Each structure stands twice: as C-alpha cells, then as structure tokens.
Chain A
Amino acid sequence: MDDILAVFKIRFDYDRGPVVEWKKQRDNGNASSLNFEDFAVNFYMNFMGGTQKPMALLFEDFDVLAFSKGLDLLAVFLNKSIKIDHYESYSRLAKKLIENGKEAIKIKELEEKIEEKAIPIELVLGDLGRVPYSVLEGLVNNSIATAQDYCRLYDNGTLPIDKIRGLGPKRTELIYAACRRYL
C-alpha cells in the first residue's frame, strides 16, 4: 500500500456529470504536483466511456487503477510499481471502499470505539499510502471503520483524527483513532 498516491471516488451526478465524492491524496510522491481532481472528468470518461473499459491506465510517472460499481468509479493512483499480481489486493480494497459507503459507520459509533489515552505513534493519518494493508483489513474486519470512513472524517473535519496506531497481535490488532480533543 506504500504505492498508493491517491484514491478518488468519482460519482456521476445527473446535473453536473462526474464529480469527486471524496479523495485521499498523499502529500509526497512523484505525482504530487498533479492535481488529480482537475482530471477527474477525463479519468471518468477514460474508464467509463465506450464499450470496452480499461482496468488501468499507465502514465510516465504514475499508474491509475479503476474499479467501478454502477456509475461510481474508484480511481487508485499508484507509483510506477504496479504488478499484476497485486491487482486482486487492490480490487478487494476498492470493493470495500466503494461498497461500504460513507455512512457505513456512524460517527457516534466510531467515537465509542476510540480509546481516550491512545498513544500517538509515527503512523500519520491522512497518509493512506503508509497504512499497511493488514491494518486496512483489520479496520474492515473489526467493523471499526473503513479506510473510507477515516478519509471522510478527516477530510470534512468532523473528526479531525491526527494519528492512529495498531496494538496487539497481527489479525487482532485494533486501530485507535486519537482525536485532537482526546490528546
């Protein structure tokens, strides 16, 4: 997951056309100077238009994987390190991000799962690319919140999460979100 530069969920609005519903973008990386949002309509047309829909587009500095459901599209921007055998992993992640939706978990429910004395460690929220895949899996499996929920809460400032950490043995690790108010 270190390869992820950005994730964009693009939906089709019947008045406006393709619009970015939510996004998560790394601050660093080769493609950081690109504003992916400006290309949202183009990417949407590339992946959703016509009769034969590509799975990926490869550019000089980055690659884009696309996963669709109905008229929704999840575009995953990757460093130039994509390997075909990783596709299934990305596909599973994308499926969860698309299907769980923004309202998969209520804010209240999430807050109840937050440990008040969470110790901040180096894993910085907002940097999806640095969250190990196993952690993302854990997020979903433990029904705490999907990565999409974290992105949404972080983006809209409703729950300004600064840091998360993982505890416990692998597969049972829990993610603790430490809000500013709890620090």
Chain B
Amino acid sequence: MINLLLGKAPQLEYRPTIGLNFGQKMIKSMLGEHELNLWDFGGQKNFWPMYNSYLLNTKLCIVVTDSTPTGVLKTKMIIDWLNKRDENGGDKMKIVALANKQDLSGVMTAERVANVLRCPTYPVVAIDPLHRENVIEILKTNIEQVVKVE
C-alpha cells in the first residue's frame, strides 16, 4: 500500500511485512497541506504488542484487509484489539478499512466487509496503479474529517 501511495512499482509477489515499513507523503486537502507519516505494520498477532509504541498520538488508522472471508475475520480481530486499546485509555483514533484485492473473484464486497468490521470501508486493488488516486482521495477525505473533529 505504501508503494502505491508513493507511486512506486507495485509488489506483485506476496511478501509479508516483517514488523513494519515506513513512508512519508505530503497531501494537500481543502484544509491545507499535510505531512503524513505512514507506518505499515505487519498484521500477524505477534506484532500487535509493538503497535502500542507506534500508535501513540496517531489520529487515523487505516487497516488494509484481504477481502476473503478468512482475511476479513482476521482483520476483525485486529480492529477489536485496537478498539479495546482505545477503551483502555489509548489515543482515540479513527479507524478506516481498505478492502483490498477487489479484483479477485469470490471476494466480499466492500459493503459486506464494512458490515463485519463495523468501520468505514473502501474497495481497493493495491497492485493496480490506477487505484492510487482513489486511495489518496480516501486519505484526504478522512484526514479532513479528523482535523475538523479536532
């Protein structure tokens, strides 16, 4: 996803995120220019404890999920964990989901994914450069909402 946002060549072969990756991007919205620090975390359970350190003062958390039923259920566990963290005094942050791999047959639609995850969900194909602008728009929209709330 970071590759897509930064306009780099997509990674076609699946390689799990080992721990975390990082990227920076400037985005202009109606409210001004925003410097985004993009932290890409591995979703595997053993990485979850690490999230706490990096989510400090985070305003917007974007969860990228496979749109397969199994993938969505695993992602649901992550979102539940993040919500619980908020309830336990963590920083309040907005959670948005990207339902990835919408180009594959048999996957759940973004609407169905949203019903399971109970958060705003957008359809994407992260390996398709044509989706880049779409993802940037999603970012802009949600950044504006977060900034307005503050």
CA distance A16 to B42 in the complex (A): 10
Contact of A49 among B19, B45, B74 (CB under 8 A): B19
The reply to whether A15 and B44 contact each other, CB–CB distance below 8 Å, is: yes
CA distance A12 to B50 in the complex (A): 17
Cβ of B20 under 8 Å from chain A: yes
Interface residues of B in 64-101 (CB under 8 A from A): 74
Number of A interface residues in the complex (CB < 8 A): 15
Cβ of A119 under 8 Å from chain B: no
Interface residues of B in 26-66 (CB under 8 A from A): 42, 44-47, 50
CA distance A50 to B20 in the complex (A): 8
**Chain A contact residues: over half helix, strand or loop, or mixed?**
mixed
Cβ of B18 under 8 Å from chain A: yes
Chain B residues near A44 (CB-CB < 8 A): 18-19
Interface residues of A in 12-58 (CB under 8 A from B): 12-19, 41, 44-45, 48-50
Cβ of B106 under 8 Å from chain A: no
CA distance A12 to B19 in the complex (A): 11
The reply to whether A15 and B45 contact each other, CB–CB distance below 8 Å, is: yes
Cβ of A107 under 8 Å from chain B: no
Cβ of A104 under 8 Å from chain B: no
The reply to whether B74 and A17 contact each other, CB–CB distance below 8 Å, is: no
Q: Which residue of B lies closest to A13 (CB)?
A: B44
Chain B residues near A71 (CB-CB < 8 A): 16
CA distance A48 to B20 in the complex (A): 11
The reply to whether B20 and A17 contact each other, CB–CB distance below 8 Å, is: no
| Contact flags A157-178 to B (C-beta < 8 A → 1, else 0) | 0000000000000000000000
CA distance A72 to B74 in the complex (A): 23
Contact of B46 among A17, A48, A49, A50 (CB under 8 A): A17
Q: Which residue of B lies closest to A19 (CB)?
A: B46
Chain B residues near A13 (CB-CB < 8 A): 44
CA distance A19 to B47 in the complex (A): 11
Closest A-B pairs by Cβ, 6 of them: A17-B44, A17-B46, A45-B19, A49-B18, A49-B19, A48-B18
